[in-house]
Amino acid sequence: MSFFAISTACWFCCRRRFACTKIMKAVAVLEFLEDFARFRSDKMLTDEAVWDTVVGWHAALYYFYNRDNIQRLRAKWEDDFFFRNLAELWQAYMKQEVEQRRITPHELERKLLKSKPAFMKAERELLWEQVPPKSS
């Protein structure tokens, strides 16, 4: 996942000639995951195929952890359908997790919020920290 996220972020920035800022990388990752989520919406991937990938898990968590940012982007761009496929993927993920873990949606969200700092720290280290060059 991290390789794809980094590649997508760099491609997004270069394509649009933006400086690779944290917000641009975050939007690039969300755009990549939205495209992935569309494969599920279009029935190109089964739910089983989505949940059996690390990308599916990342897509659900990125949506959950960025819901407020996505709402701001929707308002800014006046587009309520922005990241719609990710929203649908999140709902399906939540339903599946609640059933498998036998917990309530509220308990799942509470658990995910508790793990958010560790998740975000790991993503920052993978996506936004400069990777030292390989030694020869």
The answer, yes or no, to whether residue 2 has pLDDT greater than 70, is: no
Domains held by the chain: number: 1
Instruction: Give this prediction's pTM.
Output: 0.75
Residue 122 lies in a domain: yes
Residue 91 lies in a domain: yes
- For the chain, how many helices (H) and strands (E)? 7, 0
Supply the range of the domain harboring residue 87: 2-127
pLDDT tier at 128 (50, 70, 90 boundaries)? low
Residue 134 lies in a domain: no
How large is the average pLDDT for residues 21-48? 86
Comparing C-alpha atoms, which of 47, 54, 64 is closest to residue 105?
Answer: 64
Q: pLDDT by residue (tens digit) across 74-111?
A: 898 899 898 999 999 999 999 999 999 999 999 999 99
Q: pLDDT by residue (tens digit) across 109-118?
A: 999 999 999 9
Residue 19 lies in a domain: yes
